[in-house]
Amino acid sequence: MVAEVAQQSSRATTQQVVRRTSRRVARLVANFERDLESARQARERRDPSRDLVRLALECRTDKWGTHRYAQHYQRHLEHLRNEPINLLEIGVGGYADPLKGGASLRMWKKFFPRAQIFGMDLHDKTALEEKRIRIFRGDQSDPNSLRLIAEQIGRLDVIIDDGSHRSPHVLTTFETLFPLLEPHGIYAIEDLQTSYWPEWLGSEDRNAPDTSMGMLKRLVDGLNYEEFVDEDYTPTYTDEHVVAAHFYHNLAILEKGVNAEGTRKKHILRSRYGG
């Protein structure tokens, strides 16, 4: 009897040791995996190919230097870096010279190693094509031209408007292409300073509704369309699909999704809505 009790006690002690050892091993493994992840992230931070500012300088694009866009793009596009996305940039650069331009396209190609990079320009820039870079000739002021190019590309995950910077063209391009952008896609508009310049089809009137900034200001209101008290208001496509708007100097970055978080206005505004 005494031997049996001792044997059971020994088994219980062994099981406790095994459990304690298992927990200790699990903690060691978790700590090891955490340290590995920290080391990987540190390597990535040191990797110049992950730094869009360095890539912009290397590729000699004006997204760093003339402008300060690269660090903002890094923040908003980093999560897509290793995804097989399609990126379209309107405006290749180099004006009418068929052999000049394409610096930004080459930067995007290096930053997104699995992406297909597409460019569009009013002038023929096909001489600048290379592996994973394809360039279309098109007119961003013509919806049919934009739709035809979008059809040839297929899925659109990121759209960057660095084209003519004329407000009518910017509005036409956004109205045509934003509905074709994938859910969770990113839409960027550059060089918004021209919105305030009449010489570039902008306006000195900062409240002008037909400028690039006028459109963007409406989009910000549209983010909160569910809070409008005008019961006859019908939400627009952008009201329901722009979920975030980020503004920087001369640059706007929009996120697409489903904007339907709901509202408590009828609960709060009881006098208006009858209790």
CB atoms within 10 A of CB 44: 12
> Who's near 132: CB < 8 A, 6+ residues apart?
109, 115, 116, 117
Q: Do residues 259 and 252 touch, judged by C-beta distance below 8 A?
A: no
Given 72, 165, 169, 241, the catalytic residue: 165
Displacement of CA 144 from its chain's centroid (Å): 25
**Dihedral sign (CA 200, 170, 143, 161):** positive
- Catalytic annotation present for 76: no
Picking from 171, 174, 176, 178, the residue whose alpha carbon sits closest to that of residue 194 is 171
User: What count of residues does the chain have?
Assistant: 275
What is the edge-to-edge ordering of all strands in the sheet holding 242-248? Answer: 133-137, 116-121, 86-90, 156-161, 181-190, 251-256, 242-248
Catalytic residue numbers read: 165
